Structure 1
């Protein structure tokens, strides 16, 4: 049998244990509430970041702004799809969620693409417990919110300090402990490093798309070289320089300056397809086309190179023919005098770099006569 004293001791101990358990349970439940609040604010902050991304071009369009006049409300974030469900206008301890943003720095311009959107989101009242600032609770909310969150402490309460001291910002509530704030900066919008789908920012470096395709491109303008294995276009392709190792196809290909074909064609060598154009492989610049499966000069098999009036004893220089061409000469008489032998001979004798023209009678003597010597390159 227990004595009365022993029973009293047991009852007191049980009461103390029950009190401790109740306090621990209450602390646990409050910590859960703080965590839920932090996670809720993190959702709002993420939605705010999405809203800034979607409205970035409009926000920076006017250059630097100390205070954006109409930042979004929670209802705006919901109706525009950034928040997936409606949220209470403020935290459980009262007040409202305040959103403020600015565009800077003061020297930025929209054309230079160096403007940033800085925003903050914070409850309008500090967290208190029994009328006293709840620093521990504020810390729990910030921890649940993530690295974008911070809170003010008892010391230096006019400053919001991010988790692990990662950043600091002015306390918008003043010199008040247990104020909670989320920010995207405070000196960077967190979005300008990305390629923006609305074209608000220009690229600042070369891009490597890792061999993936770009589809549904409307216009492609190039100030430099466009190198491609295959270019297929249904409309205009405009470039200062275009280099292709494969085909360039289009309904209409127009150049306002020059088109440079590769030095790959050899006359009388087979080719494909018919209609292809290339330059002579000797680098002379002669244009050849694929005709009936063979590379031939664009102007035909026989190209006139010069037109020279001649008489008996004249010399005519041979033309310089691109690779594959053979110099030839043709004499076309247009007047002569001949003796009674009634024979006229027109001959061009090959002397290496020139032809010697002889117009003679039947006895082999030169006669007074004129002709036109046309020189050609034959392929």
Structure 2
């Protein structure tokens, strides 16, 4: 009898089966890893082209003035570039965006699958509202061997967004789901199939975050300037409320469709414009306080308020800082002032009738009594009857067609000097001492005037000689004078006047102090009485 030994282990078939399953699982795992890596690469490529596209949009907004005029730049401090331009557009690079601070300095200029970018910007529209459109293209097709990876380009577009696209031929680029197209006739950076693209500028969706210069892109939310200014605006139109924390300055007219409300330093309101009642305009004060028109730079008594037509005051009016209610008891009031100076007529009456007036010609009329508690001074008083008064004073003439009867004394206050001229003949006057004078043949003569004679007297003194000479007795001095003399002749008469009714005074002066004594002769013309 023989014995057979059986060993434990795997048969060849089992081993082959185990190895086959292991290899398949390893292959599947490798494929998963490859797919994950490709997804990551596609996502990164989409993020990268979107990043550079957003930077280009910022560049268009920043350098619109240069792009709209197709102006190139190279290493300028205020416009660093580089930017090359021709008759239809400009080309920039990733370095341009780095120089402008729109991309980080560490940006390499190539994407995750080692493709550089070519960025073209085209000018369109008409002056002055040109628009700028751009296209960012990879210069290297995404291929593995001879196979173009459109699948990965599509995934990259999903990450990059609606402004991304790709080429499937050498002449056109199409956006996501065919929403936009560009051709190589407009953008020369469309050169191959399998290129990743991103459109920028006016027609792009991402550019809507900017305010467009031509006004075609409205705001979709509030504009927050972050404390900065809005400069060089032309017209600002708003349908709501404008709130300002500081001054408002206008170089032209400020127009309000309704009232304008302002406040004083106490918070009280003043409203300009008025409501739809009374068929008028209003300045309405919100508190029981006066309205003051104040011009701090105007001098006293200069005009600071002018009204071109009639003015109507419902109650009382005052000037010169007076109280309009400070009027006599029983008066209704109207005007409270100091002086009234009229170039026409000041009248009183009612219903168009004039009961009294005073005009600028000096006429005064009253249809009833005039009561004066003191003097009435007039140039001419005419009465058809008697004028009765305890005292009559005239600043001018008093003419009588008949005789003038004086019940007591007649006082003549008109003074003259004997020998002086007069007119008309027949006037009666007096000297300063009271002697009666009459005008005879145009000369004032004393009543009973006698012969004429002259008296004189001399005097000597240093620089200022003077002398007084008198007529004899009570004779009247008709006139006089003086004569000065000195060694050099530099002397003049500086005093020459009558002394009472019968004397004369004269004095001299000279400018030379080394001329010694000077002399004077004073004389008087006398009338014997």
**Contact 1:230–1:245 (Cα < 8 Å) also in 2:** no
The reply to whether residue 98 of structure 1 matches residue 122 of structure 2 is: no
**Contact 1:150–1:181 (Cα < 8 Å) also in 2:** yes
SS at match of 2:88: coil
Which deviates further from its counterpart, 80-89 or 212-221? 212-221
The reply to whether residue 67 of structure 1 matches residue 75 of structure 2 is: no
2:358 is matched with which residue: 331, 346, 355? 331
2:216 and 2:322 map into 1 onto residues whose CA distance is 47
Which residues of 2 match residues 278-297 of structure 1 at below 5 A?
A: none
CA gap of 1:333–1:188, structure 2 versus 1, over 3 A, is closer
User: In structure 2, what is the equivalent of residue 177 of structure 1?
Assistant: 193
**Which string of whole-angstrom CA distances, capped at 9 and with x for unpartnered residues, describes residues 94-126 of structure 1?**
442100001102xx112xx3x211001111121
Which residues of 2 match residues 31-50 of structure 1 at below 5 A?
A: 31-50=39-58
Structure-1-length-normalised TM-score: 0.60
**Which string of whole-angstrom CA distances, capped at 9 and with x for unpartnered residues, describes residues 194-217 of structure 1?**
546xxx556999999899999867
**Contact 2:120–2:136 (Cα < 8 Å) also in 1:** yes
How far the C-alpha of 1:62 sits from its partner, in A, is: 6.2
CA gap of 1:295–1:184, structure 2 versus 1, over 3 A, is farther
1:121 and 1:36 map into 2 onto residues whose CA distance is 16
CA gap of 1:241–1:23, structure 2 versus 1, over 3 A, is closer
User: In structure 2, what is the equivalent of residue 264 of structure 1?
Assistant: 282
User: In structure 1, what is the equivalent of residue 162 of structure 2?
Assistant: 147
User: In structure 2, what is the equivalent of residue 307 of structure 1?
Assistant: 344
**Contact 1:127–1:134 (Cα < 8 Å) also in 2:** yes
CA gap of 1:329–1:121, structure 2 versus 1, over 3 A, is farther
How far the C-alpha of 1:230 sits from its partner, in A, is: 8.9
How far the C-alpha of 1:333 sits from its partner, in A, is: 8.3
The reply to whether residue 84 of structure 1 matches residue 104 of structure 2 is: yes
SS at match of 1:247: strand
How far the C-alpha of 1:275 sits from its partner, in A, is: 2.2
Stretches of structure 2 lacking an aligned partner (at least 5 in a row): 1-8, 72-84, 265-271, 275-280, 295-303, 326-334, 369-380, 387-529
User: In structure 2, what is the equivalent of residue 356 of structure 1?
Assistant: none
Aligned CA RMSD, in angstroms, stands at 5.5
1:270 and 1:223 map into 2 onto residues whose CA distance is 37
1:128 is matched with which residue: 143, 154, 159? 143
2:205 and 2:305 map into 1 onto residues whose CA distance is 53
Structure having the higher Rg: 2
**Contact 2:117–2:137 (Cα < 8 Å) also in 1:** yes
**Contact 1:230–1:247 (Cα < 8 Å) also in 2:** no
User: In structure 2, what is the equivalent of residue 165 of structure 1?
Assistant: 178
Which residues of 2 match residues 180-199 of structure 1 at below 5 A?
A: 180-184=196-200, 187=203, 191=207, 194-195=210-211
How far the C-alpha of 1:46 sits from its partner, in A, is: 1.0
**Contact 2:157–2:176 (Cα < 8 Å) also in 1:** yes
1:335 and 1:54 map into 2 onto residues whose CA distance is 81
2:108 and 2:224 map into 1 onto residues whose CA distance is 47
| Greater helix share, structure number | 1
The reply to whether residue 4 of structure 1 matches residue 2 of structure 2 is: no
**Contact 1:66–1:102 (Cα < 8 Å) also in 2:** no
User: In structure 1, what is the equivalent of residue 514 of structure 2?
Assistant: none
SS at match of 1:239: coil
Stretches of structure 1 lacking an aligned partner (at least 5 in a row): 250-259, 320-326, 337-344, 350-358, 365-379
**Contact 1:148–1:162 (Cα < 8 Å) also in 2:** yes
**Contact 2:56–2:200 (Cα < 8 Å) also in 1:** no
2:139 and 2:261 map into 1 onto residues whose CA distance is 64
SS at match of 2:140: coil
**Contact 1:157–1:176 (Cα < 8 Å) also in 2:** yes
| Greater strand share, structure number | 1
How far the C-alpha of 1:83 sits from its partner, in A, is: 1.0
The reply to whether residue 19 of structure 1 matches residue 27 of structure 2 is: yes
CA gap of 1:13–1:80, structure 2 versus 1, over 3 A, is same
Which deviates further from its counterpart, 43-52 or 300-309? 300-309
CA gap of 1:4–1:76, structure 2 versus 1, over 3 A, is same
Structure-2-length-normalised TM-score: 0.45
1:30 is matched with which residue: 38, 62, 81? 38
